[in-house]
Amino acid sequence: MTRATESRLGGHASTIERTGDSLPYGDERHLTAHRWLVDEAYLLDAQDYDAWLALVTDDVHYLMPVRVTTARAAGYDVSPGMAHFDENRYSLSRRVARFQTEHAWTEDPPSRLRHHITNVRTFATPDPDHLVADSAVLLYRSRGDVREPALISAGREDLLRRQDGRWLLARRRILVDDAVLRTQNLAIFL
């Protein structure tokens, strides 16, 4: 899937892209982005979704295209025009609000979550108030006492924006490593 195709799906956030090589690991911007990702993982593991939602911009684009297995010559590894998630702030806020009602059946009882964030690389952008952070995430999810736990492995590309002195998530593109997800549902955030 090309970036042009993705922008037609949800197209809510900035189109700012990375420039150059990854920033050195000791660079203050890299450390800031890495710390932001770790702090976000703690909020998601604690299922503090209101606090998590406060970390996203008004024009956020949260995208997880459907992965497919094709021959290399086909030229794509995601299904054009299809996504597990293609959300903006409004749809994310509706999901968060639903978790706080008795109608969140997919999360009753709530999942036990652990987001493992690794392989963080940070890139500058043409705008100093934006950073691109690539990371790998491994989500461990356990539900109840009788189901097998689920693992979801993915790569993420995040666009972080400095706004009012804080870094916020302006775009997240999640590429899962499996074409078939082995989890009961996707009522979680990656």
Domain ranges of the chain: 3-176
Query: What are the CA-CA distances from residue 151 to residues 108, 125, 181 (Å)?
Result: 19, 32, 9
- Grade residue 3 by pLDDT with cuts at 50, 70 and 90: very low
Q: For the residues 91-100, what does the mean pLDDT come to?
A: 90
Residue-by-residue DSSP string for 77-111: SEEEEEEEEEE-HHHHHHHHHHHTSTT-GGGSSPP
Are 33 and 164 contacting, i.e. CB atoms less than 8 angstroms apart? no
Q: How far is 32 from 47, CA to CA, in rounded Å?
A: 22
Long-range own/partner contacts, residues 161-164 (CB < 8 A, 24 or more apart): 161/14, 161/57, 161/129, 161/130, 162/129, 162/130, 163/57, 163/129
pLDDT tens, position by position, 24-36 = 999 999 999 999 9
Q: In the CATH hierarchy, which top-level class contains the domain 3-176? A: alpha beta
- Compute the C-alpha angle 83/85/86, nearest 5°: 80
- Compute the C-alpha angle 162/157/14, nearest 5°: 50
- Grade residue 46 by pLDDT with cuts at 50, 70 and 90: very high
Model pTM score: 0.87
Lowest mean per-residue pLDDT among 11-20, 66-75, 95-104? 66-75
Q: For the residues 76-101, what does the mean pLDDT come to?
A: 87
Per DSSP, 173 falls in state E
Percent with pLDDT over 90 in the chain: 62
Lowest mean per-residue pLDDT among 47-51, 108-112, 148-152, 171-175? 108-112
Element spanning 13, H or E: none
Element spanning 182, H or E: none
- Whole-number average pLDDT of the chain: 87
Show Cβ contacts of residue 151 under 8 Å, excluding neighbours closer than 6 positions: 138, 139, 140, 141, 182
Q: Is the pLDDT of residue 8 over 60?
A: no
Are 58 and 89 contacting, i.e. CB atoms less than 8 angstroms apart? yes
pLDDT tens, position by position, 132-169 = 999 999 999 988 776 788 899 999 999 999 999 999 99
The per-residue pLDDT for 83 is 86
